[in-house]
Structure 1
Amino acid sequence: MLTKLKNYPTTVNLLLSASLILTLSRAITLPYLVIYLSGSFGLSIADIGLVIGSTLIIGSLLSLYGGFLVDKTSSYRLILWLSCLFTLGFLGTFLARDLWLFYSCLVLINLTYAVIDIAVKSGFGSLLPVTGRSEVFSIKYTLTNIGYAIGPFLGASVAKIDISLPFLFSAGLGAGFFFIYFVWGDRNLGATDEARKPSPFLSVGKLLLRDYRLVCFTLGGLFSAVVFGQFTAYLSQYLMVTTTPESTYRIISTIVATNALMVIGLQYSIGRKITNRHLNLWLAAGLGMFMMGLAGFALSTSVPHWVISMAIFTIGEIIVLPAEYMFIDRIAPDNLRGMYYGAQNLSNLGAALGPVLCGIVLATQHPHYIFYMLALFIVAGGLFYLAGASNLRVATGKGLIDEPQ
């Protein structure tokens, strides 16, 4: 992987650095957000789930328009402005003493992170040939998980001084990326063709709705993301109800690191074997691993049990997420990549619903019921995935053509 990074142009490496640095910023604070909201604002488990989930929902919905902007404007300027707002969002969470202000900053962080991610993936499509994109997606995914592996430990170290300091640390990382990209970023990246009249946002949205495979994969991603999108949040909620805050810290830190380290170690070797020709089988295998992981979570009574369950769960993640990227890249026309990746980001609505739904279940039912509910979402997501992958189409410069499996 390091050899490949050396061979990439500076622009590609800068886009990859965005995934690493900005993910690290989020990972420093995300695993401890449940405890921070409980301690600093006195929120209940259900209210915490509502706060975390609704900020993700708002950010995901608005990111669809962000994808439209990626297709319409200069990616250099867009990434620069968004990284600035990302930094201000974390600075705001550090300074906020009112819940409404803290909430607004969380929305800003989630929105800017989502749109930068769209711009990064769209940038890969414009900078690299089709044959090189699956590999760069694998590297991006690995770097993202390096951020998630390191972040919680950095956050835990800083939080020992003061529980709000991780937010300031994250703001500093965001500011560092802003400076790097301002100095070395490609000012011509994503430059628009002035002769081409941009289509209105709603017209492009209607075009996307007519793409059956995109709709199916978006819905499949939405339902399955309830399970894997924000597992740290709903597992933190579950552990807060069933164990002590100290145990929650210890278990969450360990399983987040397990998840990230397994992805770093296995994703590249497994991900490069995933092909569109056998996408249905890969997806079925990945979703089956999610099921087994959930069963393990429900039965876990010690840290080693949680680690084993997370290892199984992570294999499902290693399979499903790269398959999503590959599918969208194959069907997206060059002039609509931002919108297609923006539509894929709507699957984050599922990730947002996870903490909300689990918070409601934990407040009203036996704690183990959340795993039954999550299993049903895996089944629903799998049905939509298989429907969307039944007959792949590849993107051409002018449109889409069928490619049978």
Structure 2
Amino acid sequence: MSNVVSVKRFKQFPQLMWILLFGSFITRGSYYMVWPFLAVILYEKFALSATNVGLILSSAAVISVFVSFVGSALSDRIGRHQLMYASGVLYIISFSLLAQVDSITGYALVITLCSIATALWRPLTSALIGDIIDDKTTRELAMQSLYFVVNVGCAVGPMLGLWMGLTGEQSSFYITAGAFAFLLALLWCGFHQHNKLANENELTANQELTKLTADNREIDSVDIQCQAKVKAKSAEGNQIINVLVADKLLQCLIFANILCMFIYAQMDSSLIQYLTRAEVPDLLQLISSMIFTNALVIISTQFLLLKLMANLSLVSRIQIGLVLLMCSQIWLAVNPLTLFWGWIGAIVVMSLAETILFPTMNVHIDRLAPDHLRGAYFGAASFYEFGYAIAPLGGGIILDQLGGPWLFFITAALTLIVMYLYSTLDKMPRPDFTNVLAVQKRLSE
């Protein structure tokens, strides 16, 4: 019975959602074919220390976090479509440049552009799903599906790159640029078709409204116009900030997830630097295998875990994921450098944690966000990326000063702090969104 329901839910996806899923697969696959090896390229080309590599990656990511918040909030006012086109073009330009630069300064600038494009794209995609799918259950399935296909791309990309001999090759960044050019063409078609269908539905609704009685027609027309204005007019900038400042639960959640992202991001940056500098055997094969394992575990367990945890609250699911994340960090700390399958085993545990945590975080924000502030809330959630942003620098400093084992013991301890913060969420005050929407309605009149 549950399988039938799932099939019905999938059939409710609009065409634009399927385009997003396919586009996410090809772009993530090409992205992870080349991006994880950037730290290796910087080390081998310029012999930079772990701290210096971390500084380049962290500086770019910090800038992108601020851009992401502003861009996502603006998307409530000027539309998702335009900003998605802009971030897609920025992807194409930045990855094309990344295939050509040959100086440390050039890498720093272009990596910043890449990070900005990525930070804009992710929350816009999540907010767009909320715009095009009204049913809550179907929307959550769509977010889970998006996360699933992203990881299918992550699984295929590194292994395909290794098979094609592209890992560590600078020219392979052109592949990612080409993938985003193709996605933009698909999105243009999808947006055009979606808008056409929306206009047809609106016309049908208007025709039905004309059948109302003469006494009710004028009143209903005024109400409908007011509702349209409220929906079309997004909250003013100051009002958005006031709401976010008043929402203490959101702030606690953001801080907890900043720490969570800092912990998880060590796999993408510091772990690779640790293995590179330790000169472990078969380095490129090990890196590709870890990325492949990470994605494969997510692909094979995501919907199974979703079904097993269906009766648990979102916070309970996240706490289970955090326990697994802490165990993976301890494993990474104690694993011998030359034990290939030990590294893979630790990644399996970390991947199970990620499978539970990451899609649940998006669903959590979607449930917390009022409809008229969805873009602003997903933009605020992009501050999670601060953890990801400072991870290369923080991890690099710890690597240079204390070494790899201490880095992962520290991240294991940080997981305990995240678990405590999640346990306090229910006690955090939230603003009165009814009053906020009433103010917007008065403004629109």
Q: Normalised by the size of structure 1, how large is the TM-score?
A: 0.89
Instruction: Give the letter for the 1:95 counterpart.
Output: Q
Out of 159-168 and 10-19, give the one that drifted further. Answer: 159-168
1:202 deviation in Å? 4.2
Report Cα offsets for 1:132-178 as digits up to 9, x if no partner: 12211111111111121112123334555971122111111111112
Match of residue 65, structure 1, among 55, 60, 70: 70
Residues 1:371 and 2:408 are matched in the alignment: yes
Match of residue 338, structure 1, among 366, 375, 378: 375
CA distance change for structure 1 residues 100 and 276 in 2, over 3 Å: closer, same or farther? farther
Report Cα offsets for 1:341-385 as digits up to 9, x if no partner: 111111111012222111101111233110122112212222222
Pair member with larger Rg:
2
Residues 1:22 and 2:27 are matched in the alignment: yes
Task: Summarize the alignment of residues 353-364 of structure 1 with structure 2, pairs less than 5 Å apart.
Answer: 353-364=390-401
Residues 1:141 and 2:147 are matched in the alignment: yes
Distance in 1 between the 2:245 and 2:384 partners? 15
Kept in 1: contact 2:13–2:142 (CA 8 A)? no
Partner of residue 316, structure 2: 281
Kept in 2: contact 1:280–1:390 (CA 8 A)? no
Partner of residue 351, structure 1: 388
Distance in 2 between the 1:144 and 1:206 partners? 34
Identity of aligned residues (%): 23
Residues 1:182 and 2:188 are matched in the alignment: yes
What stretches of structure 2 of length at least 5 have no aligned partner? 1-5, 200-227, 438-445
Match of residue 256, structure 2, among 215, 220, 229: 220
Instruction: Give the letter for the 2:34 counterpart.
Output: T
Partner of residue 131, structure 1: 137
CA distance change for structure 1 residues 60 and 381 in 2, over 3 Å: closer, same or farther? same
Instruction: Give the letter for the 1:184 counterpart.
Output: G
1:42 deviation in Å? 3.1
Partner of residue 172, structure 1: 178
1:20 deviation in Å? 2.2
Out of 150-159 and 107-116, give the one that drifted further. Answer: 150-159
Match of residue 305, structure 1, among 330, 339, 342: 342
Kept in 2: contact 1:87–1:174 (CA 8 A)? yes
Kept in 2: contact 1:242–1:367 (CA 8 A)? no
Out of 140-149 and 228-237, give the one that drifted further. Answer: 228-237
Instruction: Give the letter for the 1:16 counterpart.
Output: L
CA distance change for structure 1 residues 289 and 131 in 2, over 3 Å: closer, same or farther? same
CA distance change for structure 1 residues 17 and 104 in 2, over 3 Å: closer, same or farther? farther
1:107 deviation in Å? 1.7
Q: How many residues align?
A: 399
- Would you identify which runs of 4 or more consecutive aligned residues in structure 1 move more than 3 Å? 1-7, 157-162, 186-191, 193-200, 272-277, 389-400
1:389 deviation in Å? 4.9
Instruction: Give the letter for the 1:144 counterpart.
Output: V
CA distance change for structure 1 residues 385 and 22 in 2, over 3 Å: closer, same or farther? farther
Instruction: Give the letter for the 1:333 counterpart.
Output: P
Residues 1:39 and 2:44 are matched in the alignment: yes
Instruction: Give the letter for the 1:119 counterpart.
Output: L
Partner of residue 98, structure 2: 93
Report Cα offsets for 1:275-309 as digits up to 9, x if no partner: 58633332221111011111211222312111211
Kept in 2: contact 1:267–1:318 (CA 8 A)? yes
Residues 1:9 and 2:35 are matched in the alignment: no
1:3 deviation in Å? 7.7
Instruction: Give the letter for the 1:209 counterpart.
Output: V
Distance in 2 between the 1:397 and 1:172 partners? 45
Instruction: Give the letter for the 1:231 counterpart.
Output: M
Kept in 2: contact 1:230–1:352 (CA 8 A)? no
1:211 deviation in Å? 0.7
Match of residue 154, structure 1, among 152, 155, 160: 160
1:2 deviation in Å? 7.9
RMSD of aligned C-alpha atoms?
2.9
Distance in 1 between the 2:48 and 2:258 partners? 27
CA distance change for structure 1 residues 2 and 280 in 2, over 3 Å: closer, same or farther? closer
Match of residue 87, structure 2, among 67, 78, 82: 82
Report Cα offsets for 1:177-226 as digits up to 9, x if no partner: 122222333474999x7775544434412321211111111111000111
Match of residue 211, structure 1, among 226, 230, 247: 247
Distance in 1 between the 2:429 and 2:8 partners? 32
1:397 deviation in Å? 7.8
Match of residue 295, structure 1, among 330, 347, 352: 330
Residues 1:56 and 2:61 are matched in the alignment: yes
Q: Normalised by the size of structure 2, how large is the TM-score?
A: 0.82
Instruction: Give the letter for the 1:377 counterpart.
Output: L
Distance in 1 between the 2:248 and 2:236 partners? 21
CA distance change for structure 1 residues 97 and 210 in 2, over 3 Å: closer, same or farther? same
Out of 225-234 and 64-73, give the one that drifted further. Answer: 225-234
1:399 deviation in Å? 6.7
Instruction: Give the letter for the 2:247 counterpart.
Output: D
Q: Name the structure where helix makes up a greater proportion of residues.
A: 2
Distance in 2 between the 1:243 and 1:229 partners? 21
Distance in 2 between the 1:124 and 1:394 partners? 25
Task: Summarize the alignment of residues 185-204 of structure 1 with structure 2, pairs less than 5 Å apart.
Answer: 185-186=191-192, 188=195, 196-204=232-240
Kept in 1: contact 2:34–2:166 (CA 8 A)? no
Partner of residue 105, structure 1: 110
Report Cα offsets for 1:248-296 as digits up to 9, x if no partner: 3122111111110010011112124445863333222111101111121
Kept in 2: contact 1:334–1:396 (CA 8 A)? no
Partner of residue 272, structure 2: 236
Instruction: Give the letter for the 2:416 counterpart.
Output: V
